[in-house]
Amino acid sequence: MAVVTFTTDFGTSDGYAGAMKGVVLSMAPDAILVDISHHIRAGDVQAGAITLAQAAPYFPPGTIHVAVVDPGVGGARAEVVVAAGGSFFVGPDNGLLSLAAAAPRRAWLIENPAYRREPVSPTFHGRDVFALTAGRLAFGWAADGAGRALPDIAGLPLVPTARLGEGGEGEVVHVDTFGNLFTSFGGTVTPGSWDLQIGEESYGLASGRTFTDVASGSLVLYAGSGGQVEIAVRDGSAAERTGAQRGTRLRLRRRS
């Protein structure tokens, strides 16, 4: 039985996500369907890419990941299926798949009519292209049957990850539902006291292994579960405390 996941900005109040699942099950009725998230902020490709990358590595080999955050639906961006890390990724070629489907990878256009519903709605490729392709793969069809091979897929304009060391300048690359700030720094965090500079404001914070290493309401700097350095407020929101959002520049410096 194939595992098929879904990551979209469709929400759950409408029938869009359900329609995609119906298409998959109509071709592969034994498929196991898993929702990663349907609550990506509308049109936020980078947030969708990060969310998919957080979850995809923990699914079994052969999993088919369908991702649809597609503000350019019906436009010039391509529709693709990608093989990477023993799994498959299906979605628009707008950077959404690039973090989870890390290199080395192989990619194909979805242009074979057998991998597309007829007719294809110009505003709902999630149902008519991506879900149908996922259903074909779940039933055992080959990814390379979808269409011509591509040299690579589109990436995202992310700030390169840097080691934090004793400090440096970076930016917020993601804010999660708890208001935790994912930074462009990676690796471990040296124990001690740190200074955080955002704009004209300065904040003191301590490094920790987890949130409970600081008092309630305090800022904490830690290595997050995805390998990035994060900033949180215990029992609160770092985004609300600092006013930071994705793209906010910041400076970190170890004080002691």
In which band, very low, low, confident or very high, does the pLDDT at 151 lie, cut at 50, 70 and 90?
A: very high
CA nearest to 117, candidates 22, 194, 34, 202: 22
In which band, very low, low, confident or very high, does the pLDDT at 68 lie, cut at 50, 70 and 90?
A: very high
- For residue 158, pLDDT beyond 90: no
- For residue 9, pLDDT beyond 90: yes
List, in sequence order, every residue forming a beta bridge with 228; answer none if it has no partner.
Answer: 186
**pLDDT per position as a tens digit, 70-106:** 999 999 999 999 999 999 999 999 999 999 999 999 9
* Average pLDDT, integer, range 245-256: 94
The domain limits of the chain are: 3-150, 162-254
Q: Which CATH architecture has domain 162-254?
A: Beta Barrel (2.40)
pTM of the model: 0.92
**pLDDT score, position 161:** 87
- CATH code for residues 3-150: 3.40.50.10790
**pLDDT per position as a tens digit, 103-137:** 999 999 999 999 999 999 999 999 999 999 999 99
**pLDDT score, position 177:** 94
Strand intervals (E) in 144-218:
149-150, 162-163, 167-175, 181-186, 193-198, 201-207
CA nearest to 124, candidates 183, 89, 154, 79: 79
Averaged pLDDT of the chain: 96
Angle, vertex CA 173, rays to CA 179 and CA 216, nearest 5? 25
Name the phi and psi angles at 3, rounded to 5: -100, 130
In which band, very low, low, confident or very high, does the pLDDT at 186 lie, cut at 50, 70 and 90?
A: very high
C-alpha separations of 120 from 2, 80, 115 in Å: 25, 15, 11
Question: How far is the C-alpha of 8 from the C-alpha of 222, rounded, in Å?
Answer: 29
The length of the chain in residues reads 256
**pLDDT score, position 256:** 81
**pLDDT score, position 226:** 87
CA nearest to 146, candidates 177, 110, 196, 117: 110
Per-residue b/e over 239-255, b at no fewer than 16 CB within 10 Å?
Answer: bebbebebebebebebe
Rg, C-alpha atoms of the chain: 20
**pLDDT score, position 243:** 97
Tokens of 113: 């009519």
Residue 40 three-state SS: coil
Is omega for the bond preceding 57 within 30 degrees of 0, making it cis? no
